[in-house]
């Protein structure tokens, strides 16, 4: 693994769990193009660091729910509808709601805010968080690694990375068209 890949993944996971709006999957899929093992370790680092960010948001929302919600509404891709979606998902239970959210484009930070505002058990939230974050990170890494293997040596490592980043850019253009900036 490149020096600092796990550290960068952890910082990205922490940032995305709080205020950043680009998922760590971008970095993880780029890492997976050359090494699944490195990408999976970085995925674990991102998932565990996201817990710290999630708990921070949980604490803020537990103490200052309206201020936390108002702040988060300024993050691109988050609206009142996002909070409503999370409330509906959490009605299914913490684990199933968060797991579904992880695979449907619902920002993790909103789950943290809603869980904190409603007084969900913070320890349970912290335990469930990596269990719902890591699977998506790992699956995205597996997909990228598999596609990289299919392409083989027809593209250089640099070109594979450029294709990966281009696909992510296209994804985010479409995502923000749907959910709004």
Query: 24, 58, 16, 1: which is closest to 140 by C-alpha?
Result: 24
- Distance, CA of 145 to CA of 73 (rounded, Å): 35
Place of tokens 């749907």: 178
Task: Note the helical H segments in 64-121.
Answer: 65-72, 80-90, 94-102, 108-117
Provide the percentage of residues in the chain whose pLDDT is more than 90.
93
Q: What is the largest CA-CA distance in the chain?
A: 54
Q: In the prediction, which pLDDT does 4 show?
A: 66
Average pLDDT over residues 137-161: 95
Rounded to a whole number of angstroms, the CA Rg of the chain reads 16
Query: Cα(80)–Cα(75) distance, rounded to whole angstroms?
Result: 12
Answer yes or no: is pLDDT of 3 > 60.
Answer: no
Q: What's the pLDDT at 181?
A: 84
Q: Is the pLDDT of residue 2 over 60?
A: no
Q: Percentage of the chain with pLDDT > 70? A: 98
- In this predicted structure, the answer to whether residue 81 has a pLDDT above a threshold of 80 is yes
- Taking the whole predicted model, whether its pTM rises above 0.85 is answered as yes
* Mean pLDDT value of segment 104-132: 96
Average pLDDT value for residue range 45-51? 98
CA angle 75, 77, 79 (to 5 degrees): 80
1: pLDDT confidence band, cut at 50, 70 and 90?
Answer: very low
Q: Band of the pLDDT at 108, cuts 50, 70, 90? A: very high
Whether the pLDDT of residue 101 is over 60: the answer is: yes
Check: CB of residue 31 under 8 Å from CB of residue 148. no
């Amino acid at each position: 693994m490149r020096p600092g890949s796990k550290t960068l993944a952890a910082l990205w996971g922490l940032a995305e769990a709080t205020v950043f709006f680009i998922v760590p999957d971008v970095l993880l899929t780029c890492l997976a193009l050359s090494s699944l093992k490195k990408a999976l370790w970085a995925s674990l680092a991102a998932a565990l660091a996201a817990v710290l960010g999630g708990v921070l948001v949980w604490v803020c929302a537990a103490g200052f729910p309206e201020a936390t919600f108002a702040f988060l509404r300024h993050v691109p891709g988050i609206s009142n509808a996002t909070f409503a979606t999370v409330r509906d998902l959490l009605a299914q239970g913490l684990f199933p709601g968060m797991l579904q959210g992880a695979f449907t484009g619902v920002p993790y930070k909103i789950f943290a805010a809603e869980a904190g505002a409603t007084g969900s058990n913070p320890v349970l939230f912290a335990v469930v968080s990596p269990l719902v974050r890591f699977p998506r990170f790992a699956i995205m890494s597996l997909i990228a690694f598999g596609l990289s293997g299919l392409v083989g040596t027809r593209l250089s490592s640099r070109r594979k990375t450029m294709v990966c980043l281009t696909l992510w850019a296209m994804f985010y253009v479409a995502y923000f068209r749907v959910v709004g900036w």
